[in-house]
Structure 1
Amino acid sequence: MSIFSDNIRVLRDRKNISQQKLADDLLITRSRYVKYEDGTSEPPLELLLRFSKYFNVSVDLLLSVDIRKYPLDDMLKVAENRILLPVTVDSKGDNKIEIVPEKASMGYLNGYNDPGYIESLQTLSLPFLRNGKYRAFPAKGDSMPPYKDGTYIVGKFVEDISELKTDKTYVFITVNDGIIYKRFQFHEGSSIWVKSDNNFYEPYKISLFDIYEIWEFACSINTEEYRPDEFENQNVREMFSEIKSEIKYISERINIKTK
């Protein structure tokens, strides 16, 4: 038996319909349907889509998630017919927020849609974050001060790209850069522009096709405090940023004069 065969049997039972009735609705013979339900055969893509539309369940869920373990009513439906894992709560009714550890952050790219991987993550609960689905991601580098290595950004899942707001910060899960925390700027065709709060770094463009997930900033968790000398280092970075901007301005002026 496969996950798919188990799922269609469970869904058929929930609808309280016979194998013959389901086969008729899908425009196939009962004998052909039985092979799918007992796992001796696999349906072609066209028929998979028919199953998906009939039960109003995404194809990836039909093929990869045991719906007996994750009831459909408890799942958060997201754009493009995808399904996010259930919104689970602790004994007090607060959201369980999965924590993506820094050392395993790259593994998230392979496991973000794997129920087993997500279940293996440690969780925490924050009573003031109740509505929506939240997840905590590690901040890295110096591109988004004052957040330093060891800080966790707690994000709320963004269901649709149209929900992005100019100058709001988001955690983007991307094909090329992995987990990044940036400030959204604007849409441009099939891409978006983002920037760092550290002006030393230039804004850049991300293709929408390279984005797996987007999480809107909800709060941050600092695991270390700033030392006084780190503020001095921040001033040095700002100084270099200003010098870089001045060099760019002078270069542009020179180019204008030579034209």
Structure 2
Amino acid sequence: MLILAKNLKHLREKVLKTTQHKLADKLLVTRASYEKYENNKVQPSIETLLRISKLYHISVDILLTVEISKYSLDELLKLPDNRILLPIIVDNTGENKIEIIPYKASMGYISGYADPGYIESLQYMSLPFLRNGKYRAFPAEGDSMPPFQDGTYLIGDYVESIADIKVDKTYLLVLQSGFVYKSIEQINKDSLTVRSKNSFYETYDIPFSDILEVWKFVKAITDEHDLIDLTDNGVKEMFWSLKEDMKRMEKRLLHKPDMPR
């Protein structure tokens, strides 16, 4: 745990460049408790450790076993075993479920995204064509996610490392202040330059320290349950075809004459 204590102090002073009090607020602990973490007098709880991991985008294993001051942040992000733990819902067959973040609850998710109890309390769904990966559905609210309007859910595929983000691809970013849906313009040393799908908005930088989670955009579902796929129209056409086939089958059954006894 001495390594963890050293890492916490180094990351706070050199990466976030903030005070113990401000960082303690982000981690939902008291300043006195956080001070004891850095002084190696008290070990943080699992929940707090997960929040620290998410905050810096550094895995728990790295935090506990590697003296981070000896490496650059970029080198750490590229390590193959630098993975951030993610609470997920799995059914009795082992299939990952797609958790649904409710509307008007973005701040609740930001406080509970690393809490297995909170994740287990969420409603969920399954889609047969989304099996390989970890997916989650986020609500589009206000004007932060053009062209999507209120009533749309954006499904994202979890990105484990900043190093896996690709320029010109679209992501849903979970920030300290809420959710945003943006395309990546540029990956900088300490930030992402992002742009909106609405050209009215100018590009801007988001510091890594403000990013809690990154989800690569996969699908969008409206209130009417229409499937919107901005990258593969074939999936949408498949669903419409199945829907029409079911209607035709229902009509045939309704007009089918009774069989002789």
Q: Deviations over 1:199-258 (max 9, x none)?
A: 1111111000111100001111111599xxxxxxxxxxxxxxxxxxxxxxxxxxxxxxxx
Q: Following the alignment from structure 2 to structure 1, what is the Cα–Cα distance between the partners of residues 133 and 123?
A: 19
Matched with 2:84 is 82
Matched with 1:217 is 217
CA spacing shift, 1:150–1:79, aligned 2, 3 Å: farther
Q: Following the alignment from structure 1 to structure 2, what is the Cα–Cα distance between the partners of residues 44 and 224?
A: 51
Checking the alignment, whether the CA contact within 8 Å between 1:90 and 1:125 is kept in structure 2 is no
SS in 2 for 1:83: coil
**Structure 1 unaligned blocks of 5 or more:** 1-41, 50-56, 62-77, 227-259
SS in 1 for 2:104: helix
The structure, 1 or 2, with the larger RCO (C-alpha pairs under 8 Å, 6+ apart) is 2
SS in 2 for 1:219: strand
Matched with 1:122 is 123
| TM-superposed deviation, 1:94 | 4.1
Checking the alignment, whether the CA contact within 8 Å between 1:58 and 1:83 is kept in structure 2 is no
| TM-superposed deviation, 1:132 | 1.4
- The one-letter code sitting in structure 2 at the alignment partner of 1:183 is S
Matched with 2:178 is 178
CA spacing shift, 1:182–1:44, aligned 2, 3 Å: closer
Matched with 2:150 is 149
Checking the alignment, whether the CA contact within 8 Å between 1:99 and 1:122 is kept in structure 2 is yes
CA spacing shift, 1:222–1:58, aligned 2, 3 Å: closer
Matched with 2:33 is none
CA spacing shift, 1:43–1:196, aligned 2, 3 Å: closer
Q: Following the alignment from structure 1 to structure 2, what is the Cα–Cα distance between the partners of residues 216 and 159?
A: 10
| TM-superposed deviation, 1:171 | 0.9
Matched with 2:29 is none
- The one-letter code sitting in structure 2 at the alignment partner of 1:218 is V
Q: How many positions carry a matched residue from both structures?
A: 163
| TM-superposed deviation, 1:44 | 8.9
Q: Following the alignment from structure 1 to structure 2, what is the Cα–Cα distance between the partners of residues 206 and 134?
A: 23
Matched with 1:199 is 199
Q: Following the alignment from structure 1 to structure 2, what is the Cα–Cα distance between the partners of residues 158 and 168?
A: 12
- The one-letter code sitting in structure 1 at the alignment partner of 2:49 is D
Q: Following the alignment from structure 2 to structure 1, what is the Cα–Cα distance between the partners of residues 47 and 144?
A: 37
Q: Following the alignment from structure 2 to structure 1, what is the Cα–Cα distance between the partners of residues 81 and 106?
A: 24
Matched with 1:187 is 187
CA spacing shift, 1:103–1:199, aligned 2, 3 Å: same
- The one-letter code sitting in structure 2 at the alignment partner of 1:164 is I
Checking the alignment, whether the CA contact within 8 Å between 1:172 and 1:182 is kept in structure 2 is yes
Matched with 2:56 is none
Matched with 1:60 is 49
Q: Following the alignment from structure 1 to structure 2, what is the Cα–Cα distance between the partners of residues 140 and 60?
A: 30
RMSD, matched Cα = 3.4
Checking the alignment, whether the CA contact within 8 Å between 1:143 and 1:197 is kept in structure 2 is no
Q: Following the alignment from structure 2 to structure 1, what is the Cα–Cα distance between the partners of residues 135 and 191?
A: 25
Q: Following the alignment from structure 2 to structure 1, what is the Cα–Cα distance between the partners of residues 47 and 118?
A: 20
Checking the alignment, whether the CA contact within 8 Å between 2:170 and 2:182 is kept in structure 1 is yes
| TM-superposed deviation, 1:189 | 2.1
Matched with 1:131 is 132
1:111 and 2:112 are equivalent in the alignment:
yes
TM-score by length of 1: 0.54
CA spacing shift, 1:208–1:159, aligned 2, 3 Å: same
Residue identity (%): 49
| TM-superposed deviation, 1:106 | 1.5
Segments ≥4 residues shifted beyond 6 Å: 42-45
CA spacing shift, 1:199–1:220, aligned 2, 3 Å: same
TM-score by length of 2: 0.54
Q: Deviations over 1:46-79 (max 9, x none)?
A: 5988xxxxxxx99826xxxxxxxxxxxxxxxx97
| TM-superposed deviation, 1:112 | 0.4
